[in-house]
Amino acid sequence: MTSNRDGKNQMKIFASRRTDAVKIIPVKKIGFKKWTDAQPVYVKKWIKTVGFDGAAGNTCLIPNNDGSLGKVLWGVSDIPNIWDSGSLARGLPHGTYTFEGFNDAKTSTLAALGWGLGAYRFDKYKNPLTLKTRLQWPSACDRKIVEQTLEAIFLVRDLINTPAEDMGPSELEKAARTLANKFQAKIRVIKGKQLLAKNYPAIHAIGRASDDEPRLLDLTWGKPTHPKVTLIGKGVCFDTGGLDIKPASGMKLMKKDMGGAAHVLGLASMLMSSHSKVRLRVLIPAVENNIAGNAIRPLDIIRTRNGKTIEIGHTDAEGRVILADA
């Protein structure tokens, strides 16, 4: 399993089965004392020395007699989840690991997924931090689900983490086209003055102050006879607040205001990669809420696609305006 950033950095997360993998032994806080009492004396002493009590998410490295890493005790919750294993990929020493005692598909799949999610790093703008650990695929886990889920979530994270300089409406359109091409989906894009001609006036009004034209991304996939699933995601690629400008502290993280769009693309990726029997439609109004002479003003009245009008009480309420058209 790899994470592909712009087709470049390939980050290996999982490994084929190997006999020299270090065992990760799941333990629970309740009943941990009883488990410890059954261990060799040196293991009991070591656990007491480091103060490990089996709490969920925590680990205890158990050395061999020669000082090498023998095994890892790993605290898990009573109910299987992805969070307990989330810190393992980046927190354990260099090596290949294997989960011991996971014989059911649900527990194995969640543990592998948590490991994979924890391996993520956004390294597009710097030298990659090499992942020094690998996890052997658990024999009972649903490998396909893990791979499809990681691919989708990594896409979401990469899109949101990319700065607005490289993730405006044009780049968001490119990401949607790339996804559509991968799964042979259809995509239609209406942008700039075409939005007015096609009756999407609210999307145009919010995005017209940006040099990167506003647009509506419309992706469809699946057989028309299948149940309809429509996903709509807010694609405000940067939000200055408009003429009612945000303070610096409020504007700092506004590259993430297109997170809704990123999430619907990620969910679409999962639905298409799993060959879900749905008629999928993804609608993303992609804009920048910018400042210029033609920006919307407080108390402007904007028409929407269905004919209703919106009085702009505050130019920083742009998301609900573009979603009204979508």
Under 8 Å between Cβ of 209 and 295 = yes
Starting at the edge strand found earlier in the chain, the sheet holding 59-63 runs 14-15, 133-136, 95-99, 22-27, 69-75, 59-63
Under 8 Å between Cβ of 194 and 204 = no
Catalytic residues: 246, 320
Closest CA to 167 of 119, 210, 118: 210
Closest CA to 189 of 168, 170, 207: 170
Q: Is the dihedral of CA 200, 205, 208, 210 positive or negative?
A: negative
Q: Tell me the C-alpha distance between 246 and 235, whole Å.
A: 18
3-class DSSP assignment, residue 221: strand
Residue environment code for 201-239, b if the CB has 16+ CB neighbours within 10 A, otherwise e? bbbbbbbbbbebbbbbbbbbbbeeeeeebebebbbbbbb
Provide the residue type at 18 as one letter. Answer: R
What is the separation, in whole angstroms, between the first and last Cα of the chain? 36
